[in-house]
A and B are shown apart, each in its own frame.
Chain A
Amino acid sequence: MDIQTKKAGDVIVLEISGRIDAFTSEKLESELHSIMNAGKLKFVINFEKTNYISSSGLRVFLGAHKKLSENKGQIKFSNMPDPVLKVFALAGFDKIFEIHSTEKEALEEFHEIEEGFKKQRYA
C-alpha cells in the first residue's frame, strides 16, 4: 500500500494505492492520525488505485469519522472501484459516508458547504 498526500485548499486528499488490509491499515491509521493531530478536519480519500480493502481498513475510516465528527470535521470518499465499493456497501458504510464518483466532485462538495456557511454568516 502506498499513500500520496496533497492539499486542496484546507482539504487534505489521500490517494491510496494497493491493498488496505490488516497489515497495511496500521500505516494508514497513523498517517491519518498525524494529519488530524495537526488540526486538519477535512479529508477526501481517493480510492482509484486501491485494489482491495478489508474490514481493518473500514475500521480505520470509522475511527477517523468518529473523531472528525466530534470536531465538526468530515471525511469523503471518491473514485471507488467496484470491489472496494462492495466491501463498504456490505457493512452498510455507504450509509455513513459520502461517496462521490470523482475527487473533483468531493472537493466541490466541501467548497459548497463552505460557501453556504459564508452566505449564512453574511446574510
Chain B
Amino acid sequence: MKSKRGLKNNGMPDTIQKLGKLFRLFEKPGEPSFTVNELELAQEIQANLLPKSFPLNQKIEVGALYKASKYIGGDFYDVIQIDDRKIAFVIGDVSGKSLHAALFMAQCLTLLKVFIKMDLNILKIIEKTNQMLFELVKTDMFATVFIGIYDTHYHQLSYVNAGHNPPLLLRTSVKIPAKDHHPLTMLTAEGIALNCIANMILEEKRIQLYEGDILLLYTDGLIDASNEFEKEFGEAKLKGLITELRDLPAQQMTQKILEHIEGYSKASKTTNDDMAALVIKFKEEK
C-alpha cells in the first residue's frame, strides 16, 4: 500500500486526490485485486485520451466503439490528421490491467501521436516509439499496435502491424480493377509488439483504396468474447457481421457490432476483455 502522505487534499487535481481513499475492492483469490480508485483513475485516463471527434469528414466517415472491461485493460484508438492530405489511423492494445496498463497506454499513445504528427516514415514511428518505451518502461508490459496512414490524394494506405489483430478491409464497389477486387482482405504484416525487444522487426505494406471501401480496426476483446459454452465469437463471425452491416453509417455499424457481441456473450461465465474498434468508410470525392 502506498504511503498516505501527499494524498490528502493538497491542491492536486481531483484525479490524483482520488488515490486518497484506497480500499480493496476484489478479494477473491485468483482475481486481480484493485482498489476502487485505481479503477476510476484508469478509466479517467483512458476516457480522456480517446478522441471525441474525427477529422477530414469530407473524405472519410468514422465510427468508434469502446467498451471497458470490469477490470480495465488498455485498448486505445485514434484518428490523427497529419496535414491536408494525410491521415493516420491507430489502434492498439496494452497488456495488463488497471492503473499500470492505463499509464503505459498513455505513454504509448502520446509517443505515437508525437511521431505521427512529425510526419515521420511509418516504420520510424513504430521504431522510435519502441525505442523510447524500451528505455523508459522497465516492465513486462507490451502493446500491440496497428497504424495505417492514408494519403487522400493517391488513395493509398501504408500500414505497419506491430503484433495486432489484422484489420479487415471490405470492398463494396464493383467499379475497381480486377486485381484489387478481393471482397475481404486482412491487413497482415510482419511485426512484433512494442516494448518486447530493443530493435523492432517490422514490415511496411501498401494497399490501394477505392471509394466504398470499409476498414475495420479492432482489438481482440471483440473476437475473444465467449458465450455460455466458452466458445469465442471469433474472426469468422466478425467478418460475416461487417459484411452484413456494410450499408449502415459507420457509427451505427460500430454500435451494431457491439450489440451483437454483447448479445452473444451475455451468458458467458468469463469476464469480457476491453473492446475497441474503428470503422472507417472511404467516401466518394465530391
Contacts and interface: CB of A to CB of B under 8 A. Distances in A.
A59 B140 contact: yes
A23 to B, nearest CB: 5
Given A21-B270, A55-B95, A92-B191, A60 B140 contact: yes
A58 B93 CA distance: 13
Interface in B231-280: 270-271, 273
Given A27-B30, A90-B165, A91-B192, A55 B93 contact: yes
Interface string A14-53: 0000010111101100000000000000000000000000
A108 B224 CA distance: 35
A96 interface: yes
A93 B196 CA distance: 8
A95 B73 CA distance: 25
Given A23-B32, A55-B93, A63 B163 contact: no
Contact of B97 (A22, A24, A93): A22
Contacts of B190: 92
A24 B69 CA distance: 16
Interface string B73-99: 100000000000000000001011100
B142 interface: yes
B30 A59 contact: no
A29 B41 CA distance: 25
Interface in B175-197: 190-193, 196-197
B217 interface: no
A22 B32 contact: yes
A24 B97 CA distance: 13
For this complex, into which size category does the number of interface residues on chain A fall? Answer: 20 to 34
Contacts of B69: 22
Interface string A39-81: 0000000000000001110111011101000000000000000
Which of A55, A56, A90, A96 has the most C-beta atoms of chain B within 10 angstroms of its own C-beta?
A55
A50 B144 CA distance: 23
A121 B162 CA distance: 41
A60 B71 CA distance: 17
Interface in A65-123: 66, 90-93, 95-96
A26 B32 contact: yes
A97 to B, nearest CB: 10
B141 interface: yes
Given A22-B71, A95-B201, A56 B95 contact: yes
A16 to B, nearest CB: 15
7 contacts: A22-B273, A54-B273, A56-B97, A90-B164, A92-B192, A93-B192, A95-B201
Return the 10 tightest CB-CB contacts between A and B, nearest first.
A63-B140, A92-B192, A91-B163, A59-B95, A55-B95, A92-B163, A91-B193, A62-B140, A59-B140, A23-B31
Interface of B: 30-32, 69, 71, 73, 93, 95-97, 139-142, 144, 162-165, 190-193, 196-197, 201, 220, 224, 270-271, 273
Given A23-B270, A92-B190, A92-B192, 10 more contacts: A22-B69, A22-B97, A22-B273, A24-B30, A56-B97, A59-B141, A62-B142, A63-B139, A93-B192, A95-B192
